[in-house]
Structure 1
Amino acid sequence: MDSIIALLSDPAAWAALVTLVILEVVLGIDNLIFISILSNKLPAHQQQKARRIGIGLALAMRLALLSMIAFIVALTTPVFDLGFQGGPGAHGEPTFETAFSWRDLILIAGGLFLVWKATKEIHHTMDVEPTGETLDKKGQVVLNFGSAIAQIVALDMVFSIDSILTAVGMTDHVPIMMTAVIITVIVMLVAADPLANFINNNPTVVMLALGFLLMIGAVLIADGFGVHVPKGYIYAAMAFSAGVETLNIFSRRARKRKAEARAAISPASVTADE
């Protein structure tokens, strides 16, 4: 109790908490986009339930991993080495690592899964030919509930490990980490339904989100091989793309309003002429 009171009275602890919450929310966007896209493939009455379960499992995994800090830190210890180095970079350093830890292997597996899943979803979006899978009225593939939850759990694990390693790198205080994780998951719960509905109601946003997942998958694979792409570049690119798509959405809505206004005026003009 005394240690918690000391943390509450420490401005540095509050600064670490705010910084960590911001970082965790940014990292959680990837997780939330994936959950939104998968849940939108379910029947309407199961979508919100799947999002709640997916985000709840994300919270449970993060808190469970936080209780095993020593185990998580050990995940970064190399478990095997291929015995050679990548080619020299601009400053003579290896371009990629050949000593792999469990974290690296999990990131590579998660990245490959994301690339495969995003590619498959893009294929289903672009290919209008009938398949043997169940489709909804819009021609989109409908998942069964168990399959959706299994895929969400798999990616929750990947994003949870990345999230916890970020937290460990930011502070040594477990209560701060747990508080940041809980706040982040609350934000995800609040944003889940609006984000999923927005993605579902704007088909072009679905393609943009799938492009984000492809990019995130490639970054996870690169990170697993020791090629660390600055996260700021990734999220700046995502923000720019989202900004452009927002302008496109406003433009389409403006054109739609003008078309409706012209359609409303034209019959009136014909009546007046008669």
Structure 2
Amino acid sequence: MFEIFASTDAWVALITLTFLEIVLGIDNIVFISIAASKLPVKQQKKATNWGLALAMIQRIVLLIGVSYLIALQEPFYTINNSWISAGLSWQSLILFFGGLFLLYKSTSEIHEKVEIPKHDETRIKQKNLTSLSRALVQILLIDFIFSIDSILTAIGMTNGLGEKPEDAIVIMVIAVVISILIMMIFANAIRKFINDHPSMQLLALSFLILIGFMLITEAAHLSHTVVFGQEIGAIPKGYLYFAIAFSLFIEFLNMRLKKKINYVEEVNTESDN
């Protein structure tokens, strides 16, 4: 089962996916924290930890379920006319609509965070919670919504890795477990870091656009889609990994530059005084 980790691609996918799961889970942490804040102080930490633990179990179950659906590769309908031909399977349909969903979710989230930065907090504060059980139910419902793009991201990052379908599931489950455990331990620190550097979350949402486009092309490739005589090929995942790594490198350089500029401005201010 763990032979997949003899591959460098598997380790790169695991590290990258874990990072994306953490960054994309920031909204989830914000929602959980606000939901838990409606409870007595003694129950807030318990609600946060139990909420994240149940969220982890829920995501693993959903991952396994969706992964087995994607394993259905046999075409059940064939399109064949003068300009397009394709063999539709459950695998290609899930990847295609999953890619469309990621494109929609990422662009709408970027718009809302830029135009209405407090929309998450405002929406959740409108609901009153009176018990730990109600808080956990709401946390699970919230996580289910956030799990959709998380699961599709995981599938997009690991699809095609390994010789057996179980190989990709192992990587996805490990990434989810690691990311949730890190969020449970460092929830407040992670939230503070993202609040101080909101561009990191926008960068992660931008990665979803790349992954969504890759899922759509992967769906077309797996269904052997031919448009005007040209067969659509799959995008090598190495391109995606390079784009993510390069973007993160530039962002960290930008963060260091901002820190240096702020330090120089503080020194100049003190010298002027």
Deviation digits for residues 62-93 of structure 1 (CA, Å, limit 9, x no counterpart) = 45678x6xx653x1111212124867xxxxxx
**Does the Cα contact within 8 Å between 1:35 and 1:54 map onto a contact in 2?**
no
2:74 maps to a residue whose letter is T
Q: How many residues align?
A: 233
In the alignment, what sits opposite 2:176? 185
Superposition deviation, residue 264 in structure 1? 2.4
Over the aligned positions, Cα root-mean-square deviation in angstroms equals 3.7
Q: Distance in 1 between matches of 2:210 and 2:248?
A: 14
SS in structure 2 at match of 1:115? helix
Deviates more, 1:119-128 or 1:219-228: 119-128
In the alignment, the residues of structure 2 paired with residue 86 and residue 40 of structure 1 have an alpha-carbon distance, to the nearest angstrom, of: 48
Cα shift at 1:59: 2.5
In 1, the alpha carbon distance for the partners of 2:249 and 2:95 equals 28
Farther-moved stretch of structure 1 (242-251 vs 18-27): 18-27
1:23 aligned partner, one-letter code: A
Deviation track 1:102-144 (CA, whole Å, cap 9, x = no partner) reads 11111112111111111112212332599xx6655xxxx6597
**Which residue, 160, 166, 170 being the options, matches 2:163?**
170
Distance (Å, rounded) in 2 between the aligned partners of 1:179 and 1:188? 14
Shift of 1:60: 3.0
Out of 91, 100, 106, the residue aligned to residue 118 of structure 1 is 106
- The equivalent of 2:40 in structure 1 is none
Q: Which secondary structure does the structure 2 equivalent of 1:229 belong to?
A: coil
What is the identity, as a one-letter code, of the residue corresponding to 1:153? S
Distance 1:184 1:142, change over 3 A: same
Q: 8 Å contact 1:61–1:160 — kept in the other structure?
A: no
1:225 and 1:85 map into 2 onto residues whose CA distance is 17
Distance 1:38 1:114, change over 3 A: farther
| Structure 1: runs of 5+ lacking an equivalent | 1-12, 88-96, 268-274
Number of the residue aligned with 1:244: 250
Q: Secondary structure at the match of 1:78?
A: coil
**Distance in 2 separating the partners of 1:15 and 1:79:** 33
1:257 equivalent among 263, 266, 269: 263
Cα distance change of structure 1 residues 31 and 76 upon mapping to structure 2, 3 Å threshold: farther
Aligned CA distance change for structure 1 residues 79 and 48 (closer, same or farther; 3 Å)? farther
Matched, 1:26 2:16: yes
2:210 matched residue in structure 1: 215
2:147 equivalent to 1:153: yes
Q: Aligned pair in 2 of structure 1 residues 44, 264: CA closer, same or farther (>3 Å)?
A: farther
Structure 2: distance between partners of 1:234 and 1:163: 9
**Contact (CA 8 Å) 2:55, 2:140: kept in 1 or not?**
no
C-alpha change, 1:85 and 1:41, in structure 2 (3 Å) is: farther
TM-score, normalised to structure 1, is 0.66
State yes or no: 1:36 paired with 2:31: no
Q: Mind listing any 5+ residue stretches in structure 2 that lack a counterpart?
A: 37-46, 126-137, 222-232
What's the CA shift string for 1:10-53, capped at 9, x where partnerless?
Answer: xxx76534434553443454444433345445654659556544
Computing the radius of gyration from Cα coordinates, the structure with the larger value is 1
Once the 2 structures are TM-superposed, how far is the Cα of residue 266 of structure 1 from its aligned partner?
A: 2.4
The Cα of 1:100 is off from its aligned counterpart by 1.9
The letter for the 2-side match of 1:253 is K
Alignment CA distance shift 1:163-1:177 (3 Å): same
The one-letter amino acid of 2:260's match is A
Matching residue of 2:115: 127
Amino acid at match of 1:77: E
For the Cα contact (< 8 Å) 1:100–1:225, is it kept in 2?
no
Question: Cα distance, 1:154 vs. partner?
Answer: 2.4
The structural deviation recorded for 1:255 is 0.9
Deviation at 1:155, TM superposition (A): 3.0
